[in-house]
Amino acid sequence: MTGIRETIARIADKYGANDHEQRDRILHAFNIADQAHAGQLRKAGDPYIIHPAAVADIVSEMGLDADSVIAALLHDTVEDTELPLTFIKKQFGNTVAEMVDGLTKLSSIQYQSKEEAEMENLRKMLIAMAKDIRVIMIKIADRLHNMRTIRAIPERRQQEISLETMEIYAPIAHRLGMTKYRHEMEDLALQILDPVGYKEITDFIAGHQMEGQMFLDHICNMTKEKLAENEIPCKVVGRVKHVYSIYRKAYGQHKELDELYDIYAIRVIVDTQNDCYNALGLVHTIFKPMPGRFKDYISTPKPNLYQSLHTTVIGREGMPFEIQIRTHEMHHTAEYGIAAHWKYKQGLGGQNDSLDEKLDWVRHLLESQEDTDAQDFIQNLKIDMYADGIYVFTPKGDVISLPAAATPVDFAYAIHSQVGNRMIGCKINSRIATIDTPLQNGDIVEVITGPVGRGPSRDWLVIAKTNQAKNKIRQWFKKERFEENLEQGKELLEAALKRSGLSSELLDHELICSELPSRFSFKSMNDLLAGVGYGGVTVLRVVNRIADMAAKLDRRPVTDEEAVNRIVSTNQSPRRRSESGVLIDGFNSVKIKFARCCTPVPGDDIIGFITRGSGASVHRRNCVNIKSLIRSGTEDSQRVLPAEWDVLAGRNFTATVQLYANDRTGLVADIAGMMANMHVAIQSIAARKLPDGFARVDMTLSVENTRELTTICEKLRNVRGVTNISRDSQ
Ligand code: MN
């Protein structure tokens, strides 16, 4: 306990240095929390107060204000003790009370499952965060301390919490630029989720400790000397990258640890922005830069505020390593992200405008969430969080920031919903392109629009990658096509009920009509049916819910005759050719999609992955995503099932190939010509210059099977200048 009192005294002194009142408030908050949690123990047997005190310590380290420290001290009181929120409001004011409220889980509502409850809580927190960003920073501190002490809780819980940390909190920290905390959370979570993989990497690093240190010392000294010669004051630090980043590279790119060169890096910290560029020039005179690996995040900061110069150079014995060059202030922002800006830029009124802009993604995320239920919401959140940003340009030169893999559809809706709704085509870098082409950093995109009132197509829901675009598309369908949606939703639902052996009369059942819509946040049965029609909620989930409710309605025992009929009707459906061309073990009627990451075609070794809510996706067995999923050993990995092709000849499938070539005029024309000669349909083709005189061409083709694809690739290899062809979109 003495340790805690010292910590609190240190924090109170820090905030009280210029303002005695803050000192007293912090001590007061500690005393209240201490009393409220009195007698409560943490799982490890320590007094509970250790936790809020540690969270307050992290919040203080982040550089947040006294109100945030106070909210951190009190963050678990309302949830876990008798202390009412009104008391906190009276003692510490509205701001603190609102923050504590944002950090308190919902308790009044009963949820179907623990999962659903957790998702609703997360949504609540994000809404609080959109109002006051400090809430999420405190939550990150809370989660970090829980991760640091995770060994005390049961193993199953450890896994759940680690997975949530990896999927939600680390990506949020990433989006807020809080790299220091993100890295620590990722490494702690990885240790639980894949202890074997974690150990493999730490063992490797430990095994190479001596040579690694020598290598780093050598390049650090060379760099220091060179900069000193030129009178640039600097700090040079060598480091081993964090375990999870090595893990991701090793398993994501199928590399042996020995082949990985991105383990070591050095960081050069200088005084001014000018010195950054000067230092860059100098390190390039002592080490040979690797072409195409230079990135200037100073002139174009990342969406999470990160600024730095990156270059990869070749060191002694041909060993490449990364150099990051930045100023002290940039370094602080690189570690603490938005929290650093909070400290430096905070006016008395709270958030400033530029900070506000940086938080636009939170707002987009929450926009029109009223119609999505928690599960969709979290799914969307995960997608948006994982995505790294790219910048693309309008023809006038305005910058639009989008997640990686965003398409022209996302771009159009990011400009304005009217532009999106009227889009009929697009040009990327002045060339006509299909609207599902993944955009690349720096692309100039022009949207071609048609007359008003044409509207989006339902396929766009698949093409769009951002929630912003998806929501706007759904809104259009919702508004413009209510009757049509209603009819389509009803048809879809009736058909799905029939397939599940349920009566479509259930849709008229009094109890279902009154309870079902609100389960999906709809006001009436008609709204729900229309929601199914425009894709606001998936059929499968509605059917599952109806099945649950029907089971409760119908508690009477099943007669023998009925039982036999059911078995016969499910087993007897003859093994007919599946519509999709794939049979997944045990799931004959699910909706099947082909994964866009690896575009399997007949002849590929495949597996099925049961997606939450919307059927199954088929991946190649050697797909990077699937391999890392299986390796993760998490619950998700149990949703991978054996699959086989079941397809008649003459049907075409989509395959993507990437082709690298020495860039030259006529390259794309030659490729397109060769495809035409072979009677191969090109669904899309996009070429992009790479910095070092190379070009990358991404093509989507229609092919019957792997044999045809192999023949095509062999022919493509003969096109002048082509150096490499692959099917991995990594
Ligand atoms: Mn807590």
The tens digit of pLDDT for each residue in 504-528 reads 888 888 778 888 888 887 888 888 8
Same domain, 228 and 335: yes
Q: Of the candidates 645, 665, 690, which is a domain's last residue? A: 645
- Domain residues for the domain of 666 are 653-726
User: Looking at the domain assignment, is residue 423 inside a domain?
Assistant: yes
pLDDT digits (tens, 9 = 90+) for 106-159: 654 555 566 667 777 777 777 777 677 788 889 999 999 999 999 988 888 898
Helix (H) or strand (E) holding 698: strand 694-703
Residue bearing the bigger pLDDT, 666 or 494:
494
How far apart are the CA of 102 and the centre of ligand 1, in A?
Answer: 12
- What are the two backbone dihedrals, phi and then psi, of residue 290, each rounded to the nearest 5 degrees? -80, 130
Q: How confident is the model at residue 278 (pLDDT cuts 50, 70, 90)?
A: very high
Domain assignment present for residue 165? The answer is no
What's 717's domain CATH number? 3.30.70.260
CATH number, residue 18: 1.10.3210.10
The pLDDT assigned to 364 comes to 57
Q: How many domains does the chain have?
A: 6
State the distance from the centre of ligand 1 to the C-alpha of 395, rounded, in angstroms. 48
300 against 218, higher pLDDT: 218
Asked whether residue 217 falls in the same domain as residue 301, the answer is yes
C-alpha 305 to ligand 1 mean position (Å): 28
What separation in Å is there between the alpha carbon of 170 and the centre of ligand 1?
17
Q: In 6-18, which positions are buried (b, 16+ CB within 10 angstroms) versus exposed (e)?
A: ebbeebbeebbee
pLDDT at 729: 53
- How far does residue 172's CA lie from ligand 1's centre (Å)? 17
Do both 402 and 268 map to the same domain?
A: no
Give the Cα separation of 145 and 52 in Å (integer). 9
Distance 220 CA to ligand 1 centre (A): 41
> Is residue 81, in this structure, part of any structural domain at all?
yes
The segment with the largest mean pLDDT, out of 567-576, 590-599, 718-727, is 718-727
What is the percent of the chain with per-residue pLDDT over 90, rounded to a whole number? Answer: 24
Q: Which of 645, 670, 695 is the last residue of a domain?
A: 645
Q: How far is the CA of 422 from the centre of ligand 1 (A)?
A: 48
> Where is 94: in which H helix or E strand?
helix 94-102
> Does 80 qualify as catalytic in the annotation?
yes
Strand partners, 655: 701
370 vs 194 pLDDT, higher one: 194
Report if residue 154 sits inside a domain. no
> Quick check: 649 pLDDT over 80?
no
Pair 402, 540 in one domain: no
Residue 629 domain-assigned (yes or no)? yes
Q: Kindly give the distance from the C-alpha atom of residue 198 to the centroid of ligand 1, in angstroms, as a whole number.
A: 26
Could you tell me which residue, 149 or 663, shows the higher pLDDT?
A: 149
Same domain membership, residue 223 and residue 325: yes
What's the 142 CA to ligand 1 centre distance in angstroms? 5
Find which of 1-5, 330-334, 670-674, 704-708 is predicted with most confidence, using mean pLDDT. 330-334
Shared domain for 77 and 129, answered yes or no, is yes
The answer to whether the CB of 165 falls within 8 A of the CB of 147 is yes
Q: Compute the mean pLDDT over every residue in the chain, rounded to the nearest whole number.
A: 81
Residues 224, 329 within the same domain: yes
* Statement to judge: residues 6 and 89 lie in one domain: yes
| pLDDT digit string, tens, across residues 404-432 | 788 999 999 988 888 898 898 899 888 88
Report the separation in Å between the CA atom of 48 and the middle of ligand 1, taken as the mean of its atom positions: 10
> Is pLDDT above 60 for 497?
yes
Please report the pLDDT score of residue 499 as a whole number: 79
Distance 152 CA to ligand 1 centre (A): 15
* Separation of alpha carbons 508 and 71, rounded Å: 49
Looking at 497, 529, 555, the residue that finishes a domain is: 555
Per-residue pLDDT, 613: 61
Using the mean position of ligand 1's atoms as its centre, give its distance from the Cα of residue 78 in Å: 11
Apex CA 69: angle with CA 63 and CA 73, to 5°? Answer: 145
Centre of ligand 1 to C-alpha 103, Å, is 9
Predicted TM-score of the model (pTM):
0.56
* Comparison of pLDDT for 293 and 12, the residue scoring more: 12
Q: What is the pLDDT of residues 51-77, one digit of tens each?
A: 999 999 999 999 899 999 999 999 999
The answer on 491 and 471 residing in a single domain is: no
**For ion ligand 1, residues whose CB falls within 5 Å:** 76, 142
Q: First vs last Cα of the chain: how many Å apart?
A: 51
Q: Give the Å distance between the CA of 115 and the centre of ligand 1.
A: 19
Query: Do 116 and 249 reside in the same domain of the chain?
Result: no
Rounded average pLDDT over 363-389: 54
- Active-site residue, selected from the candidate residues 80, 116, 480, 644: 80
Do 641 and 584 reside in the same domain of the chain? yes
The number of CA neighbours under 13 Å toward the Cβ of 423 is: 30
Catalytic residue among 6, 79, 259, 484: 79
pLDDT tens, residue by residue, 326-370: 999 999 989 988 787 765 444 333 444 555 555 555 555 555 444
| CA 635/CA 171 separation, integer angstroms | 20
Sheet holding 431-433, edge to edge: 431-433, 423-428, 445-449
Does any domain span residue 373?
A: no
- Does 505 qualify as catalytic in the annotation? no
125 lies in some domain: yes
658's tokens: 């990437």
State in Å: Cα 75 to ligand 1 middle.
6
How far apart are the C-alpha atoms of 152 and 166, rounded to whole Å? Answer: 19
Within a domain: 530 = yes
